[in-house]
Amino acid sequence: MSDKDKVFIFDTTMRDGEQSPGASMSLEEKIQISRVFDELGIDIIEAGFPIASPGDFESVKAISKILKNSIPAGLSRASKKDIDACHEALKSAPRFRIHTFISTSALHMKHKLNKTPEQVLDAIKESVTYARNLTDDVEWSCEDGTRTDMDFMCKIVELAINSGAKTINIPDTVGYTTPSEFTKIIKTLKNKVPNIDKAILSVHCHNDLGLAVANSLAGVSAGARQVECTINGIGERAGNAALEEIVMAIRTRNDLMPFTTGIKTELLSKASKVVSNATFPVQFNKAIVGKNAFAHEAGIHQDGMLKNRETYEIMTPESVGVKKTSLVMGKHSGRHAFKEKLSDLGYVDVTDDVIQTAFGKFKILADKKKHVYDDDIAALVDDSMVLEKNVINLKSLKVFAGTGEPQKAEMTLDVYGEVKKTSETGDGPVDAIFKCIKVLYPHDVKLLLYQVHAVTEGTDAQATVSVRIEENGKTTVGQAADTDTLVASANAYLSALNKMIIKRDKTAPEIEQDKEKVRGI
């Protein structure tokens, strides 16, 4: 057992992270993510905001039932109705946390809450006491904490602890603070609040000025012992502090920050992947989990690395679960070897159907492509997992592109089990493809993003296409990989559309109506 102070990791990917545009996740995705987070060693998982929607309530309830190690938490405003919903959703877990918050800056109290400071004091006392009667584990947050008057903050923190809060969270809600200012805030609380030793201080930083991780680490060095963060740094606006960056900074610069976390860092890559699959791709140069985070391109760097890795490497790729890209298998590799490979790559819960589909695709790919890398295989499995749930699937695609003639696509889709065919022209091949899908499954969504990138190197590389669409304020992201960029484009759009159909939370009769509509074309 280490004698270093432990910093508790509180993950809010599925609550604050989900509040970022394009990051809403389905129940199935949240369950998959929770399993990985539980294994990763996250101490507390904020699974959602139960009062916000029936979907959020059901997710928190389902996640509370499956966690083996992590403590589930739910968010609530300072209201009994919110707290009751939280309690109801969490109560099946052996231990759970109710996280209640209220705004405390003069600006928020006046304009957002329309409350006086005295009314806010009353609300804190009432809400924390109420929550504490439902569980021992209550966390209280002062929203817009870093813009709250310091004397008022000391008073309300003391009150929240006296009312039963065991964790006091100081959010930098609008990403406004700086490391030196945040250090001062945390130190003032430590020095001036008489009962501060009865609670754990926590920090929750947003990234509007790109300082979320720096501010969180400053908070820890000043005495905070819980950090609230998200995988890949997803979250409102510019995001939250990235979990993987906080954890690896503490691990790598333990000489300056002598703390421990319970995170199994070798699983960080896997956690990043499971979150990006459900939300959006990670930028290539993202610290720790970006595709280029451990790539050394410049000759002079490569030379140094060959002589001694430490010349240009402050942490090893293996320490965050990145395996060296290896030439894995060829067209003669069998199903058994393929299955072993998947398990090596961290795909443990994969169904036989998914393995079968992915293996079929692998054989086709191995015929087309000289080198099949780990990343290629991962892309195939991710694709096949999505395919398993789809109600609309691509059967065939032919595209006529080039100069002169208008670009044309011929497409066959399986829509709710019915095979449908069309041919459309468009302003470019991708436009023609998307038009075909719209004709075969009439729908009205806005295309927010279309992005293409290569999975591995070379002109025979697989392309991964990401598509984000919006319908009535809800957004979904679809991703697909193929050596043919146009096939990947069609599948990515279909993946986003399939997720949208699932997200509509349809009842059985509505699904029947939807099918009828399709049959009527």
* Binding-site partner at residue 514 among ligand KIV, Zn ion, none, CB < 5 to 8 Å by type: none
Report the partner that residue 464 touches, choosing among ligand KIV, Zn ion, none (CB closer than 5 to 8 A by kind): none
175 touching ligand KIV, by CB under 6 A: no
Q: With respect to ligand KIV, which residue has the nearer C-beta, 204 or 499?
A: 204
The residue written with tokens 């609550």 in the block is 15
The entry of Zn ion, ligand KIV, none that residue 11 binds, CB within 5 to 8 Å by partner kind: none
Pick the piece of the chain touching ligand KIV (CB under 6 A) from 30-38, 166-174, 381-389, 435-443: 166-174
Least CB distance to ligand KIV at residue 169 (A): 6
Question: Residue 242 carries which DSSP code?
Answer: B
* Closest approach of Zn ion to the CB of residue 16, in Å: 4
Show Cβ contacts of residue 381 under 8 Å, excluding neighbours closer than 6 positions: 342, 345, 347, 350, 354, 358
By beta-carbon proximity to Zn ion, the closer residue of 173 and 384 is: 173
- 240 DSSP 8-state letter: B
173, 265, 464, 466: which one binds ligand KIV (CB under 6 A): 173
Is 171 an interacting residue with respect to ligand KIV (CB under 6 A)?
yes
Q: How far apart are CA 363 and CA 483, in angstroms?
A: 13
Say if residues 206 and 174 touch (Cβ distance below 8 Å).
yes
Contact 477, 468 (CB under 8 A): yes
If one asks whether residue 82 binds ligand KIV (CB under 6 A), the answer comes out as: no
In this structure, which amino acid lies at residue 200?
A: I
Identified binder of Zn ion from the candidate list 11, 16, 29, 244, rule CB under 5 A: 16
Closest to 244 measured CA to CA, from 228, 233, 257? 233
Applying CB under 6 A, which of residues 143, 244, 245, 383 lies at the interface with ligand KIV?
143
Shortest spacing between CB 101 and Zn ion, in angstroms: 9
Cβ contact 494:391 at 8 Å: no
| 150 DSSP 8-state letter | H
Per DSSP, what are the bridge partners of residue 468? Answer: 449, 477
Chain centre distance of CA 498:
19
* Contact pick of 57, 96, 101, 182 for ligand KIV (by CB under 6 A): 101
CA 40 to chain centre: 14
Q: Which two tokens stand for residue 281?
A: 């791709």
The residue sitting closest to Zn ion, measured at its beta carbon, is 16
In the list ligand KIV, Zn ion, none, the entry touching 143 (Cβ below 5 to 8 angstroms by class) is: ligand KIV
Q: Which is nearer to Zn ion, 207 or 498 (CB)?
A: 207
Helix (H) or strand (E) holding 429: helix 429-440
Of ligand KIV, Zn ion, none, which one sits near residue 101, judging by CB under 5 to 8 A according to partner kind?
ligand KIV
DSSP 184: H
Residues 319-338 that bind ligand KIV (CB under 6 A): none
- Note the residue count of the chain: 521
Question: Cα–Cα distances in Å, from 502 out to 189, 499, 506?
Answer: 46, 5, 7
N-to-C CA span, the chain:
67
CA dihedral sign, ordered 167, 104, 55, 289: negative
Q: Which stretch binds Zn ion (CB under 5 A): 9-17, 42-50, 149-157, 289-297?
A: 9-17
Distance in Å, CB of 173 to ligand KIV, minimum: 3
Residue linked to tokens 């947003």: 206
Listed ranges 167-175, 215-223, 316-324, 339-347: which one lies at the site for ligand KIV (CB under 6 A): 167-175
**Lookup: tokens for 481:** 């990989």
In the complex with ligand KIV, the residue whose CB is nearer, 204 or 420, is 204
60-68, 165-173, 303-311, 421-429 -> range binding ligand KIV (CB under 6 A): 165-173
Given 30, 97, 108, 204, the residue binding ligand KIV (CB under 6 A): 204
**Binding to ligand KIV by residue 141, rule CB under 6 A?**
yes
Query: Which region, judged by CB under 6 A, interacts with ligand KIV, from 107-115, 120-128, 169-177, 370-378?
Result: 169-177
Q: Token pair for residue 381?
A: 């499995």
User: Could you tell me how far CA 190 lies from the centroid of its own chain?
Assistant: 32
User: Which residue's entry shows tokens 């609008």?
Assistant: 174
Residue 171 CB, nearest distance to Zn ion (Å)?
6
13 burial level (CB within 10 Å; 0-12, 13-18, 19+) = buried
Q: Which stretch binds ligand KIV (CB under 6 A): 66-74, 168-176, 333-341, 367-375?
A: 168-176
* Of 43 and 143, CB closest to ligand KIV: 143
Interface segment toward Zn ion; rule CB under 5 A; list 8-16, 160-168, 408-416, 482-490: 8-16
463-471 and 446-454 beta bridge pairing: antiparallel
- Interacting residues toward Zn ion by CB under 5 A: 16
Question: Which residues contact ligand KIV (rule: CB under 6 A)?
Answer: 16, 101, 141, 143, 169, 171, 173, 204, 206
